[in-house]
Amino acid sequence: MESEIENKKQNENYIIVRSFLGANSEILLESLNQFRHTNKVESDDLFGDSHETKSINYNLNFPKKSKKDILIEEKNSLGLYVSGNPLANYQDLVTQIQDSVYRDDVNLILINKIKKIFTKKNAMMFALLVSTPFGDYEAIIFPKKAMALSPILQEKEIFWVIGKIEEGQKSENSKVNEDGEAVEYEQKPKILINTMIPLDGDLVDFLSQDKKNPLSQSSKRRVESINIQQFIGKQSLKPAEKTEVKSEAVNSETKILKISKEFGIEKTRQIKSLLKKEQFENSTKVGIEIEIKPGEWKKAKGVFWIDLEKLKELNINL
């Protein structure tokens, strides 16, 4: 029991730290650049010995991300999971389902990337990069199934799938190496997806609709005996609530904040530190326009949130 509580505490700390770093990465990088610039100026100045330090305005109202999203961002940035497979906790569940229905083509996948492909006959199909509880795969959805499955396909979401797994094989490339020998490369194992439903879908009904491998009554009872929803609820993959944010009403009216060149670098930096990409307590939605040159303004992409009272402290009113 103590180890379970400790693991939960460590998992919560991990999520908070990674969410904080994600929300403040730009602020940290900007502060680091300013620190380097200050050090360079002081090193060039014979009297540069003040060592004045400026406080950093961290975003403390950051939303906690789900562990799944943190690991997906990790894989997108580094090309692999360093802190763990986001579906690793589902290994036992998938194994129980496979054993209950006596088949190994039932699996869980997390879609990392979707690529739409058109055949020579202009038929649409999909090539996916997916993660399963047992490793990473390429997945193929052929044209006959592509149109039907297209509406539910979504990156960063988890699905039950029925699909044959083709193990990776060495294939001969048309290129040759420096010795004139044909180069071989290892193909990734593939999942040929026949059909799929979201993670929280009705798995029994999903398996029962497979006409090629109809679900027997005994298999159906075994699957029904597995409390799938309770198992899913324990995995901490759903987004958590925001940190340090009260559930008070948020002003959703959109205003325009114009950042003039007259503000200067320091004031502009202070304004940027107040802008958040997520709504928070007492915040107002704003669109940003930046002055490129006198009389010429450029609209920034996206919508931001800001505390108007803190903005007033900089002598700026919308």
Q: Which tokens belong to 303? A: 């919508």
pLDDT tens profile 117-175: 999 999 999 999 999 998 889 999 999 999 999 999 999 899 999 999 987 665 555 55
Q: Is 29 helix (H, G, I), strand (E, B) or coil?
A: helix
For the domain made up of 88-233, the CATH class stated in words is mainly beta
CA atoms within 13 A on the CB side of 253: 6
Contacts of 308 (CB under 8 A, 6+ apart): 284, 318
Return all residues near 57 (Cβ < 8 A) that are at least 6 apart.
Answer: 27, 270, 273, 274
Cα 234 to Cα 305: distance, rounded to the nearest angstrom: 33
Spell out, as residue ranges, where the chain has pLDDT lower than 70.
Answer: 1-25, 34-68, 70, 72, 76-77, 81-83, 168-187, 233-253
The structure's pTM equals 0.54
Within the chain, all domains assigned CATH 2.40.50.140 are found at 88-233
